[in-house]
Chain A
Amino acid sequence: MNQSSLSGMWRAMVSRDLTLAMRRRADVLTTLFFFIIVVSLFPLGVSPEMELLRSIAPGVIWVAALLASMLSLGRLFSDDFQDGTLEQMLLLPQPLSVLVLAKVFAHWLVSGLPLVLLSPLLGMQLGLDSDGIVLMMVTLLLGTPVLSLIGAVGAALTLGVRGGGVLVSLLVLPLYIPVLIFGTGAVDAATSGMDYEGHLSLLGAFLVLSVVLTPLGTAAALRISVE
């Protein structure tokens, strides 16, 4: 496989998926508003006291990000599966795992990146200081791609399955736990004056590992689901 055909396929795939997402902006915005609403419910449910909110802020924002990124997983392959595009993609000469990576990247651009960009606003609502907010953004920047990559395996496995939307949460949420632990751990460590670089390194390691491994799993899952 020569280099140009791979990168050409990558670019075509990413721009196609971005175009499709831009033509259906409501889908993207729904996930974003879901993220905001879930976070806003916590002060109402727990307490408006800033001291308490500040201590639970990293966990609340991260859990909301987990749920929001899971909600958007359904869109990842289902449209292509329903209109038969996915079968054509499986027949491409380029490796399926690279194609999957391109799709996940495009998906992260419209569903993960906006969460990262919105998080400072929510951090301020919950009383995080500026250092905490910056660190929150960094952890989300490293962590949300991992969520999309792991979620892609679940989305591929539940393709066309009845009740797939709820099912995918059951499969994927337990696998998200390490990212949640180290994402919130970094912010917690920083606010209590401890070293947080270890957390960030581990999140980076998760990202590298999942970029390498999960596309293979997703490709295998797609072949199982489509054949």
Chain B
Amino acid sequence: MVSENAIAWYHFSSPKNFYPLAGRLIPWFWGLAVILLVVGLYMSFFVAPTDYKQGESYRIIFVHVPAAWMSMFIYLVMAAYAIIGLTWKLRMAEMMASALAPTGAMFTFLALWTGAFWGKPTWGAYWVWDARLTSELILLFLYIGYMSLQSAIDDPRRAARASALLAIVGVINLPVIYWSVKWWNTLHQGASVSPTMAPKMASIMITTMLVMTFAFWMYTIAVVLMRARRVILERERQTSWVMEMVNADPQAEMKK
């Protein structure tokens, strides 16, 4: 049993076998993402009740909170792939780590942006130096550093390994940064307005938030697999299987 699983794991950790598998999986994840997104958006606009304190403006929480969750979760997954890639020298793990970064940065930006739009009606300002906002901003800096390092190094293997190490250093530092920013904030600001101080949320709101989170999750998997396939083609372009595939049917590959 164990050995069979191990064989399957090794089988798909080779880019050659991963490429068609990802191609088969992508439509399913897209489908799930679209369904969940339609359901989640319907629930957030028409099912979830109006908040008695914040009115309609609170509804942005259904995009904001899932985006913030995903931004942190993706960084953790990226660091996990980075560790796997560095320890076992698995090229596929390296490629997955680099494929995750842009989506993670996008969600971080989305969380900051929706946060600003939510902050204006509720707090009266687009930006406050709240601990959550500040650490989310720093997370964006970490993503940008990761992507800049990767694009600055020409040799793809070195780029992947150097940025993997940076992701690991970042993930070790992340709790320290989060905790010190939080501490700094309580010292400087006293009691600030914070989303956690809102009254207990109705369970329908939590359900909606979870549906949206799963929608974002499925979207992430679909997009990351697409990006990973592109990275595979780019990094493995000198291998015979890529050349054969592209030469056999260049049009079909373009369309995919």
Q: List chain A positions with a Cβ less than 8 A from chain B.
A: 153, 157-158, 161-164, 167, 170-171, 173-175, 177-178, 181-182, 185, 189, 206, 213, 217, 220-221, 224-225, 227
Q: Which of B10-18, B45-53, B180-188, B245-253 contacts A (4 or more CB under 8 A)?
A: B180-188
> Which of B145, B172, B177, B187 sits near A171, CB closer than 8 Å?
B145
Nearest Cβ on chain A to B90's Cβ, whole angstroms: 16
Q: How far is the CB of B143 from chain A (nearest CB, A)?
A: 10
**Given A217-B169, A224-B162: A170 and B187 interface contact (C-beta under 8 Å):** no
B142 within 8 A of A: yes
**In the complex, how many residue pairs between chain A and chain B have their CB atoms under 8 Å apart?**
68
Can you offer 19 A-B residue contacts whose CB atoms are under 8 A?
A153-B165, A157-B162, A158-B149, A161-B152, A163-B152, A167-B149, A167-B152, A170-B141, A170-B144, A170-B145, A171-B149, A174-B138, A174-B141, A174-B170, A177-B138, A177-B180, A181-B181, A221-B162, A224-B162
B124 to A: closest C-beta gap in Å:
25
Q: A170-B144, A174-B141, A175-B169 are in contact. Are A157 and B180 (CB under 8 A)?
A: no
Chain B residues near A178 (CB, 8 Å)? 173, 176-177, 180
Which of A161, A181, A213, A221 is B165 in contact with, Cβ under 8 Å?
Answer: A221
What chain A residues lie within 8 Å of B176 (beta carbons)?
Answer: 178, 206
Task: Give chain A's interface secondary structure class.
Answer: helix
Please tell me if the beta carbons of A177 and B177 are within 8 angstroms of each other in the complex: yes
Contact, CB under 8 Å: A162 / B184: no
Across the interface, do A170 and B148 meet the contact criterion of CB distance under 8 Å? Answer: yes
Complex: A174 Cα to B137 Cα, angstroms: 10
Give the Cβ gap from B133 to chain A, nearest Cβ, in Å. 14
Beyond A174-B138, A175-B170, A225-B158, whether A181 also contacts B183 by CB under 8 A is yes
Chain A CB within 8 A of B153 CB: yes
Task: Say yes or no: B181 contacts A157, CB within 8 Å.
Answer: no
How many angstroms between the C-alpha atoms of A170 and B166 in the bound complex?
12
Task: Give chain A residues whose Cβ lies under 8 Å from the Cβ of B141.
Answer: 170, 173-174
Interface centre among B141, B172, B180 (most CB of A within 10 A): B180
Q: Which residue of A lies closest to B140 (CB)?
A: A174
- Contact A167 B169, CB 8 Å, known A181-B180, A225-B158: no
User: What residue of chain A has the Cβ atom nearest to residue B146's Cβ?
Assistant: A171
Per CB-CB distance, the 4 closest pairs between chain A and chain B, nearest first, are A178-B180, A174-B141, A171-B145, A181-B184
Give CA–CA (A181, B165) in the complex, Å: 25
Please state if B142 and A162 are interface contacts (CB–CB under 8 Å). no
- Inter-chain CA distance A175–B183, complex, in Å, is 16
State whether A153 touches B181 (Cβ < 8 A). no
Residues of chain B from 44 to 67 with CB closer than 8 A to chain A in the complex: none
Q: Which of B148, B152, B165, B184 contacts A224 (CB 8 A)?
A: B165
16 additional A-B residue pairs with CB within 8 Å, beyond A174-B138, A206-B176, A225-B162: A153-B165, A157-B166, A161-B152, A163-B152, A167-B148, A171-B149, A174-B177, A175-B169, A175-B173, A178-B173, A178-B176, A181-B181, A181-B184, A182-B180, A189-B187, A224-B165
B161 at the interface (CB under 8 A from A): yes
- List the A side residues contacting B177 at CB < 8 Å: 174-175, 177-178
